[in-house]
Amino acid sequence: MPEHPLADSTGQVWEHRKIAYERYGGTLPPCELCGKHITWQTAHIDHKDENRANNDLDNLRHLCRVCNVTRTVQSTAVLLTINGVTQNVARWSKDPRCAVSDATIRQRVSKGWPHERCVFDPPAHRGRPKGSELKKVMNKKARRLERRIEMKREAA
Ligand SMILES: [Zn+2]
């Protein structure tokens, strides 16, 4: 269909874009989620049910790039299984044993941490440890040093 206004360089038109075009013509209404002005160059025609074969008009909506990307991130829910319980990140972050935000959990998942640690590990410290934490670290270092000195003495 090379004569179609939405045809790409290979002369093809995505079926769902064609259907949306038939509905709206050359001027799209603003993004359905944020109201931003969109054109056929910037618009993403989204399948509400994620089923790309379902090109029913009711299943299609027009989104700006930002909304479409955000939506995709949210819909690819990360499921974590801990002790036989499978929940998405949002649910796990509300678990009373969880001490971090869902963003942190997601970050840990993307780093490949074991699921249990993603949710239940305490938040990481930014920069140097402070107060009692620092004392603990110093004590540990001191003990290690003492041990090393002792070993040297024994070896001598
Ligand atoms: Zn938008």
Q: How far is the CA of 36 from the centre of ligand 1 (A)?
A: 5
The enclosing H or E element of 6 equals none
Q: How far is the CA of 21 from the centre of ligand 1 (A)?
A: 18
- For the chain (156 residues), the mean pLDDT of every run of 10, in chain order, is 77 90 93 93 88 90 89 70 90 91 87 93 72 68 81 77
Domain boundaries in the chain?
15-73, 77-120, 129-156
CB-CB contact of 48 with 59 (8 Å): yes
49 half-sphere exposure, CB direction, 13 A CA radius? 9
Q: How far is the CA of 67 from the centre of ligand 1 (A)?
A: 4
- The pTM (predicted TM-score) of the whole model is 0.47
Distance CA(130)–CA(19), nearest Å, equals 60
Distance CA(95)–CA(92), nearest Å, equals 5
CA pseudo-torsion sign 107, 110, 115, 116: negative
pLDDT of residue 19: 93
Q: How far is the CA of 103 from the centre of ligand 1 (A)?
A: 22
pLDDT of residue 28: 94
Q: How far is the CA of 37 from the centre of ligand 1 (A)?
A: 8
